[in-house]
Amino acid sequence: MMALNRGKEEEAAPPTAKPEDLSRYLPFDGNKAYQHLVDVCKLGPRVSGSQAMKLQQDYIQKALTAAGAQVQFQSWDIRHPETGQPVTLSNIFGRFHPERTERILLACHYDTRPYADEDPDNPKAPFIGANDGASGVGLLLELARHIDKLDTKYGVDIVFLDAEEFIFDRERDPFFVGSTYLAEKYRNADINFRYKWGILVDMVGDKDLQIYQERNSISWRDTRPLVIDIWRVAKKLNIPEFVSRPRHTVNDDHVPLHDIGGIPIIDIIDFDYPSPGYGPKYWHTTKDVPENCSADSLAKVGKVILTWLQELE
């Protein structure tokens, strides 16, 4: 081999790769996303059916309308798991180009857990959910501002899912109530559109960001290509926090949307909060506060999704 190639090295050298011009991508603003996160956390714990949840619904509706979306509430009643009283739940849709029949679904949950029940010192403390709740809201509200500028054939639905974790008793109460309701309606209703792809974001604000591939998303045959594509975009944007290997299997809202609704949807989640290993754990504790999240992390995830949307064929 060496002998054969001698003298041809210059000729055989690949042309110098021109670095790709990244300036054509829309400018996702991490500070705006983080400000939304702070604003909704200021409302207090946003448990399904609570007054703070109602205020958050107004906040989301206002921001979506300002972004040019058509806002729709998908509302229904359940019984409160503790008291049996009726509670009205709502998934909030911000729809762009609602007439388009091929659509993209971008989702997060916006309710917060009733208690910080994994807190080692105070498991009955109220839970603020800066990362587990508000980070998805902040990211999707900032993303919404750019959707109308996309040159795409797809319609986009941004959805804020209720009652992901309206959990008072882990053995008794159902998870994913909002996404399950959406999935059943989508499957059974006589709708004239279909979701080509879906992306769920959850826990995307961690200051110490590492996004591994979620194991369901990389394993399902219909979603695997989307995982590969998203991590390809992250690599192109020089965002090494998207780590190209699986780590956790996360049971999250994407599971009912995929398994019941048949929607090819992946979960983008940093389940190590703050970091992998044996250090402190902020998940479902009183440490899940805005100070442990950052604009920079939200910007990284937001840029990847926005760029992916821009390149979508």
In the complex, the residues that contact Zn ion under the rule CB under 5 A are 132, 165
Nearer to Zn ion, 162 or 165 (CB): 165
Q: How far is the CB of 146 from Zn ion (least distance, A)?
A: 27
- Least CB distance from residue 116 to Zn ion, whole Å? 10
Q: Which is nearer to Zn ion, 132 or 214 (CB)?
A: 132
DSSP 206: B
Distance CA 47, CA 220 (A): 31
Q: How far is the CB of 68 from Zn ion (least distance, A)?
A: 31
Residue nearest to Zn ion (CB): 132
Beta strand ranges found along 184-254 (DSSP E): 194-202, 211-213, 242-246
- Picking from 102, 131, 106, the residue whose alpha carbon sits closest to that of residue 116 is 131
Positions of E strands within the chain: 70-79, 86-96, 102-109, 155-161, 194-202, 211-213, 242-246, 265-269
Cβ-based nearer residue to Zn ion, 132 or 270: 132
Minimum distance from residue 61 beta carbon to Zn ion (Å):
23
- Closest CB to Zn ion among residues 98, 126: 126
**Phi, psi angles (nearest 5°) of residue 302:** -60, -40
What is the C-alpha separation between 179 and 253, in angstroms, rounded?
Answer: 6
* Choice between 37 and 69, CB closer to Zn ion: 37
Minimum distance from CB of 274 to Zn ion (Å)? 15
